[in-house]
Amino acid sequence: MFNFTINATNGAARAGTLTLPHGAVHTPCFMPVGTQGTVRALAPLDLEAVGAEILLANTYHLHVRPGEDTVAALGGLHRFMAWPKPLLTDSGGFQIFSLEAFRRVDDDGVEFRSHVDGAVRRLTPERAVEIQWALGADVTMALDHVVSGTASRGEVEAALQRTGRWLARARQRLAELAVGAPERQTLWPVLQGGTYADLRQAAVHATLDAGAWTGIAVGGLAVGEPNHVMYAVLEGLEASLPRGVPRYLMGVGFPEDLLHALARGMDLFDCVAPTRNGRNGSAYTPDGPLNIRNAAHRQDPGPLDPTCDCETCRCYSRGYLRHLFVAEELLGLRLLSLHNVRFVVRLMNQARQRILDGTFDPWYREWVARYRARGES
């Protein structure tokens, strides 16, 4: 288990196969986000239909509600959410950034005041591992300290050092839990370092010096820094990252960002953007995002994207979809979310094929140019 095979490369872009306890994942791959054990507006059968191979769920949110003990009592996260394929759980580290008003960080861990019931909850590197062990995901993440993309060097350096100390504790706790079940679950480290090239390199060296890993994540990007800065960080990291393990760029899901990251050596991605944008009426198309509420679509009989094979594009017109959003019908939220997830899954499949046949670079540059040229706000 936890094997990764690189099937082809084209420049820095890679096509691979990741073998996990609940199945194979073909990279490059986008992971829809099911924060609370559900991808909003979409059922597991929807996600299977659009070709999703792995989902992400969140440790902190499932710990707060319904609690990992409840999930475990109901058969673990796969059975709980009726998803038989691979799962990855975030550690709760992103909530250190996103729930800043509700938390206090120290060297031991982080204390949250629950946004649900106001109760104080303590999350340490060990506790994050224990929760994820109870949830039963294939891939788990070590607790990391995420700071803003505009944080000062001092803040970034302190968070980086803390993340390194937490990683050693997380790995030790998983080793204790996994005695007798070494192939049940794996732990991936998260590289921090903000937008500082030397700190990113320090994170890579310290993490690799700590031992071998079955995968490695790049965190602390797409948190407020300009896109071109994120691309520069990835470009600077690429040569230093281990070749034989999957590279997971956390929190990135806009189509052009995905392709730029692939061109810089990343393999796996997650983001709420496809479903969140869909629920807000924004649909991805090869010609840029389309705002389905625009009056221009009122009597449009065509699909969102004539090249797309999803249920939404096969069955419904732009005019009907606009009607659903204007009438505030829930079906509209599902149909645009479904389309957007299928769009990014197809994009990853197309990128994989281009890597396999050696034409990724010109294809991706042409694709991004077309996507940027048009689009509706």
Catalytic residue among 144, 257, 270, 305: 270
Instruction: Output the six-digit token pair for 69.
Output: 């003990």
Q: Is the dihedral of CA 131, 134, 135, 136 positive or negative?
A: positive
Of the candidates 88, 76, 77, which has an alpha carbon nearest to the alpha carbon of residue 25?
88
Considering 90, 144, 257, 305, which one is annotated as catalytic?
Answer: 90
Strand partners of residue 187? 140
Count the alpha carbons within 13 Å of 288 in the hemisphere toward its beta carbon: 10
Show the tokens assigned to 352: 């994989």
Strand extents, DSSP E, 114-246? 120-123, 139-141, 186-188, 190-191, 216-218
Nearest-CA neighbor of 129 among 138, 142, 139? 142
How many C-beta neighbours within 10 Å does residue 152 have? Answer: 11
Give the Cβ contact number of residue 130 at 10 Å: 18
Q: How far apart are CA 37 and CA 79, in angstroms?
A: 10
Q: Specify whether 270 is catalytic.
A: yes
What are the structure tokens assigned to 179, written together? 């005695």
3-state secondary structure of 7: strand
Spatial separation of the C-alpha atoms in residues 371 and 289, rounded to whole Å: 8
Dmax (CA) for the chain in angstroms is: 62
d(CA 41, CA 272): 12
Our answer to whether residue 90 is catalytic in this structure is: yes
Catalytically active residues are 90, 270
